[in-house]
């Protein structure tokens, strides 16, 4: 199903359903205990449907939860598109994964019904809804019958209504990085009756490597991938000209800029090679970029690697230059230098958690225009916030690797 169609369902069906469940919750409030702190949960469910990148951003929170409640079983509900991410780390492989297909409306409806039966059978102590303002996940958390339901709540913010039946209403701080917001949600479990619950201090943005969250392939995987693509000891710079489906195309840095950057790198840095990455659906864009660069030292990896092999490739590279999309976060699981180009969104909320991360963001008066509050939609059709990021700016950041 297309993202736009899913948003319409979420709006037109989600609002009345959330209103009805809010009424039911208000009638039951007199029977709820005032102290909502969670002490010894047996089963905890996390929900995050969209985005491999945001799943990676949730890993510090998952690790925190594992540390706070070592005896609890941790579950994760997501769409099937994100499944590959969970296979990359011991932390996420230990989760019990529950998936919903989005290939068609029939598959989506059937899986949703199956999941609801499963959730009611599991009888979770806590459901943590990591989606920002999805009514669908809010409804799922209510129907799970979990005694504790944690999620973002709009409080006095108009619009973005998703009901009033959370037991732990976490204030969404749009000045705080998403990884810190997710940590707030886990820390909220330990807190009792203080609103807005997340009165904890997480000012230091976690770096995945410092937390021991890293993708660690075998040496054989690296050698096999290098041999397959004819990679030697020469430094490798990767380019990602693509963006994930479901959000505005305005996040794309112009292909001509990518091509000029690549030619500059090949001219100024001896022995370097350029790699272009992407999924099979990105092959046309990758081939276009390869033709614009016009150099035999370019390797087109688009559609030729699995998700795991892509992460192996990140580990073999010196640097990744990418639009604001999933690979920026997947690469944070490796040692490569991640340079992310921002415009319609902001690194303040979605910057990579890589140990070596550089964010290029011009901060024009209209930027960022895509936010949680407008459903990541915008009226803009001329992304000057990306076009005005020059290849010289990016090369200056990349050149620090040498």
pLDDT tens profile 223-252: 999 999 999 999 999 999 998 765 567 899
- Rounded mean pLDDT, 254-276: 97
Copy the structure tokens of residue 146. Answer: 């979990």
Paired strand residues for 320: 238, 338
pLDDT digits (tens, 9 = 90+) for 4-16: 677 777 777 777 8
Q: Does residue 214 form part of some domain?
A: no
pLDDT (0 to 100) of residue 110? 96
Say yes or no to pLDDT of 155 above 70.
Answer: yes
Q: Does residue 120 form part of some domain?
A: yes
pLDDT digits (tens, 9 = 90+) for 292-321: 999 999 999 999 999 999 999 999 999 999
For residue 73, what is the DSSP state?
E
Q: Does residue 273 form part of some domain?
A: yes
Do 134 and 250 reside in the same domain of the chain?
A: no
Do 89 and 196 reside in the same domain of the chain?
A: yes
Q: Does residue 370 form part of some domain?
A: yes
Copy the structure tokens of residue 166. Answer: 């959370």
Place of tokens 């020059």: 390
Domain end among 148, 174, 206: 206
Do 372 and 249 reside in the same domain of the chain?
A: yes
SS3 320: strand
CB 119 within 8 A of CB 97: no
Do 226 and 177 reside in the same domain of the chain?
A: no
Structural domain count of the chain: 2
3-state helix, strand, coil in the chain (%, to 5): 45, 15, 40
Domain end among 206, 229, 246: 206
Q: Does residue 256 form part of some domain?
A: yes
pLDDT-derived band at 2, boundaries 50, 70, 90: low
- Domain housing 335: 219-394
SS3 77: strand
Q: Does residue 177 form part of some domain?
A: yes
pLDDT (0 to 100) of residue 31? 61
CB 112 within 8 A of CB 100: yes
Range from 124-128, 169-173, 350-354 carrying the lowest mean pLDDT: 169-173
- Rounded mean pLDDT, 253-263: 98
Do 49 and 21 reside in the same domain of the chain?
A: yes
Do 64 and 190 reside in the same domain of the chain?
A: yes
Do 140 and 172 reside in the same domain of the chain?
A: yes
Do 16 and 153 reside in the same domain of the chain?
A: yes
**DSSP-assigned letters across all residues of 131-156:** -SS-HHHHHHHHHTT-SEEEEEE-TT
Domain end among 206, 241, 272: 206
Average pLDDT over the chain, rounded to whole? 90
pLDDT-derived band at 378, boundaries 50, 70, 90: confident
pLDDT (0 to 100) of residue 205? 87
pLDDT (0 to 100) of residue 201? 65
Do 371 and 250 reside in the same domain of the chain?
A: yes
- Rounded mean pLDDT, 334-346: 96
Q: Does residue 399 form part of some domain?
A: no
Do 363 and 333 reside in the same domain of the chain?
A: yes
**Percent of the chain residues past pLDDT 90, beyond the cut:** 70
pTM over 0.85: yes
- Rounded mean pLDDT, 145-170: 83
**DSSP-assigned letters across all residues of 247-313:** S-GGGPPPHHHHHHHHHHHHHHSTT-EEEE---GGGHHHHHHHHHHH--TTEEE-TTSS-HHHHHHH
287: domain CATH number is: 3.40.50.2000
Query: Higher pLDDT residue, 100 or 202?
Result: 100
- Rounded mean pLDDT, 332-351: 96
pLDDT-derived band at 159, boundaries 50, 70, 90: low
Edge-to-edge strand list for the sheet holding 357-361: 298-300, 273-276, 236-240, 319-323, 337-342, 357-361
Do 39 and 185 reside in the same domain of the chain?
A: yes
pLDDT (0 to 100) of residue 398? 95
pLDDT-derived band at 33, boundaries 50, 70, 90: low
pLDDT digits (tens, 9 = 90+) for 165-220: 888 888 888 889 999 999 988 988 877 656 666 676 666 888 999 999 999 999 99
Do 228 and 269 reside in the same domain of the chain?
A: yes
pLDDT-derived band at 97, boundaries 50, 70, 90: very high
Q: Does residue 144 form part of some domain?
A: yes
């Amino acid at each position: 199903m297309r993202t736009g169609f899913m948003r319409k369902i979420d709006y037109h069906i989600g609002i009345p359903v959330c209103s009805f469940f809010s009424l039911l919750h208000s009638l039951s409030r007199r029977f709820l205990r005032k102290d909502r702190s969670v002490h010894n949960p047996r089963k905890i469910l996390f929900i995050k449907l969209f985005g491999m990148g945001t799943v990676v951003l949730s890993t510090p929170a998952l690790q925190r939860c594992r540390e706070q409640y070592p005896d609890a079983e941790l579950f994760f509900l997501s769409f099937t598109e994100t499944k590959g991410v969970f296979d990359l780390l011991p932390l996420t492989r230990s989760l019990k994964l529950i998936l919903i297909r989005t290939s068609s409306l029939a598959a989506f409806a059937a899986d949703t019904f199956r999941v609801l039966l499963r959730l009611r059978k599991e009888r979770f102590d806590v459901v943590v809804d990591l989606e920002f303002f999805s009514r669908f996940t809010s409804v799922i958390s209510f129907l799970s019958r979990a005694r504790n339901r944690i999620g973002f709540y709009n409080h006095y913010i108009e619009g973005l209504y998703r009901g009033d039946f959370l037991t732990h209403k976490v204030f969404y701080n749009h000045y705080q990085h998403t990884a810190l917001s997710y940590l707030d949600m886990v820390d909220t479990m330990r807190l009792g009756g203080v609103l807005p619950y997340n009165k904890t201090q997480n000012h230091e943005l976690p770096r995945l490597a410092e937390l021991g969250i890293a993708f660690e392939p075998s040496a054989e995987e690296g050698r096999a991938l290098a041999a397959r693509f004819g990679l030697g000891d020469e430094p490798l710079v990767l380019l990602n000209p693509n963006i994930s489906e479901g959000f505005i195309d305005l996040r794309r840095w112009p292909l001509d800029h990518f091509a000029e950057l690549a030619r500059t790198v090949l001219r100024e840095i001896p022995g370097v090679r350029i790699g272009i990455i992407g999924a099979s659906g990105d092959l046309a864009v990758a081939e276009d970029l390869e033709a614009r660069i016009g150099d035999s030292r370019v390797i087109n990896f688009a559609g030729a690697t699995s998700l795991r092999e892509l992460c192996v490739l990140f580990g073999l590279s010196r640097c990744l230059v990418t639009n604001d999309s999933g690979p920026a976060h997947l690469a944070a699981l490796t040692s490569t230098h991640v340079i992310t180009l921002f415009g319609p969104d902001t690194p303040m909320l979605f910057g990579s958690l890589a140990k070596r991360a550089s964010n290029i963001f011009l901060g024009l008066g209209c930027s960022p225009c895509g936010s949680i509050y407008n459903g990541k939609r915008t009226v803009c059709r001329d992304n000057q916030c990306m076009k005005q990021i020059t290849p010289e700016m990016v090369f200056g950041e990349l050149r620090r690797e040498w």
